[in-house]
Amino acid sequence: MSSRTVIRGGLVVTASDEIHADVLIEDGRIAALAASGTPAAGAFSAARVIDATGKYVIPGGVDAHTHMELPFGGTFASDTFETGTRAAAWGGTTTIVDFAVQSVGHTLREGLDTWHAKAEGNCAIDYAFHMIVSDVNEETLKEMDLLVEEGVTSFKQFMAYPGVFYSDDGQILRAMQRSAGNGGLIMMHAENGIAIDVLVEQALARGESDPRYHGEVRKALLEAEATHRAIRLAQVAGAPLYVVHVSAMEAVAELARARDEGLNVFGETCPQYLFLSTDNLAEPGFEGAKYVCSTPLRPKEHQARLWQGLRTNDLQVVSTDHCPFCFTGQKELGRGDFSRIPNGLPGVENRMDLLHQAVVDGHISRRRWIEIACATPARMFGLYPKKGTIAPGADADVVIYDPHAEQVMSVQSHHMNVDYSAYEGKRVTGRVETVLSRGEPVIDQREYTGHAGHGVYTPRSTCQYLT
């Protein structure tokens, strides 16, 4: 028995089109689209009919950068795969790509197995993995080939965090050379961590211990320098490069220049860099700790360059870098020493709404919203067209979005397992109404109807953005 749903009368928005169409879903996939009101659409029949009149019908969000349960600074990110994927669904995201971690002295396989064990049976929406490579050696390089073959096709390296995740230039070059051969994509945390650690030590010696100094020592120039270095190392290796959580306008300029030279380099930014700033880091008391992440929030003037980059395609993706730590007991670990504040912000639930607000504010078009939040992340990380679009054959990961509803973001109403909202009190226009994951309602008219274990592991092909 096939299960069918039809979504009637909405405006279907994808990265390429806006059409008033009815959408037929069969057995968890998009079966057909037909212009609303035509005989072809009238012939769609289904047990379940969703009226989307006056609403947008959009692909479920693809958040290509999350850290559920990430160990960091002696604690763990506060969202589990269960709570974090439920919150993602509430926010209209139907796929996450989380980062499995290789710890120094361990294999990639051990790290990946650990992350599978954390996620399996717990997710409300589909998930995939990137691999953080912290220990580049002969064995690791061989393992990268195997991981690409089994659907883990991207690898994050860190130019920051010496002694933890850090790789030196030689290790980075080796991993890039390997990825040039096996089709993997290197994702770079581009900050000069060695220089930053010197500035941290000097700031603390001067008694500068408040959260705002986190932003001062992690200088924009040290992001730009590392971005430049990563680009040139990738060029030497003949490998594509994806720079994560770009926040500095000088780093965007490096990406733009490299792209103008014809290099396959790509950039991701995050809502926190588009909507928050060093003003938040400087909030009185210890409030600024809520906004400590790396790369850090920048002065407001950087935001215009990020929006421009998103419009001109010098930046291609907006992910959340969701890495929540509670204020009480977690962010508080850094009272009296900003360098001990666990790095990361909550946001997996807020991304689709904040980017819709960017449409309302005129920063980006509706189709660009879907492109940077759904289609391009799916393409970049080998999930397209299964994910990221509404087209026959695609998974029926579909959001009915009310573009007129008003909401106020708050810890009182969000579903992330964290005791504050980075956007407390922010008014946005637009709200998720219903979310289908492979045709099954996860959010139904603002009621959670999903379940842990519905979400399945989704192996990926290599980057499709290059072809």
Q: Which residues bind ligand URP (CB under 6 A)?
A: 67, 189, 245, 293-294, 321, 323, 343-344
| Residue 8 binds Zn ion, judged by CB under 5 A | no
Whichever of 321 and 402 has its CB closer to ligand URP, that residue is 321
Which of Zn ion, ligand URP, none does 343 bind, CB closer than 5 to 8 A by kind? ligand URP
Given a contact cutoff of 8 angstroms between Cβ atoms, the answer to whether 245 and 192 are in contact is no
Given a contact cutoff of 8 angstroms between Cβ atoms, the answer to whether 101 and 133 are in contact is no
Whichever of 60 and 73 has its CB closer to ligand URP, that residue is 73
Whichever of 188 and 394 has its CB closer to Zn ion, that residue is 188
Torsions phi, psi of 168, nearest 5?
-85, 175
Closest separation between CB of residue 390 and ligand URP, Å?
A: 30
Q: Which stretch binds Zn ion (CB under 5 A): 40-48, 182-190, 300-308, 398-406?
A: 182-190
Q: Which stretch binds Zn ion (CB under 5 A): 87-95, 223-231, 250-258, 440-448?
A: 440-448
Closest separation between CB of residue 178 and ligand URP, Å?
A: 22
**Among 16, 78, 49, residue whose Cα is nearest residue 332:** 78
CA angle 215, 220, 221 (to 5 degrees): 135
Instruction: Indicate the SS3 state at residue 173.
Output: helix
| Residue 438 binds Zn ion, judged by CB under 5 A | no
**Among 60, 462, 64, 61, residue whose Cα is nearest residue 243:** 64
Whichever of 36 and 421 has its CB closer to ligand URP, that residue is 421
Alpha helical stretches, state H, 375-431: 376-380
Closest separation between CB of residue 67 and ligand URP, Å?
A: 5
Which of ligand URP, Zn ion, none does 293 bind, CB closer than 5 to 8 A by kind? ligand URP
Closest separation between CB of residue 425 and ligand URP, Å?
A: 23
Run of H or E including 62: strand 61-66
Q: Which amino acid is at 149?
A: E
Number of C-beta neighbours around residue 205 at 10 A: 8
Q: Which amino acid is at 2?
A: S
Whichever of 343 and 421 has its CB closer to ligand URP, that residue is 343
Whichever of 158 and 384 has its CB closer to ligand URP, that residue is 158
| Residue 86 binds Zn ion, judged by CB under 5 A | no
For residue 385, is the peptide bond before it cis, meaning its omega torsion is within 30 degrees of 0? Answer: yes
- Token output for 454: 């519905």
Q: How far is residue 115 from each of residues 80, 99, 244, 383, 395, measured CA to CA in Å?
A: 11, 8, 20, 19, 24
| Residue 321 binds Zn ion, judged by CB under 5 A | yes
Number of C-beta neighbours around residue 39 at 10 A: 8
| Residue 250 binds Zn ion, judged by CB under 5 A | no
Whichever of 5 and 319 has its CB closer to ligand URP, that residue is 319
- Token output for 305: 């360059």
Which of Zn ion, ligand URP, none does 368 bind, CB closer than 5 to 8 A by kind? none
Which of ligand URP, Zn ion, none does 373 bind, CB closer than 5 to 8 A by kind? none
Whichever of 60 and 344 has its CB closer to ligand URP, that residue is 344
- Token output for 145: 């080939």
Given a contact cutoff of 8 angstroms between Cβ atoms, the answer to whether 211 and 291 are in contact is yes
Which of ligand URP, Zn ion, none does 454 bind, CB closer than 5 to 8 A by kind? Zn ion
Closest separation between CB of residue 229 and ligand URP, Å?
A: 17
CA angle 108, 174, 153 (to 5 degrees): 45
Which of ligand URP, Zn ion, none does 344 bind, CB closer than 5 to 8 A by kind? ligand URP
Footprint on this chain of Zn ion (rule: CB under 5 A)? 189, 321, 440, 454
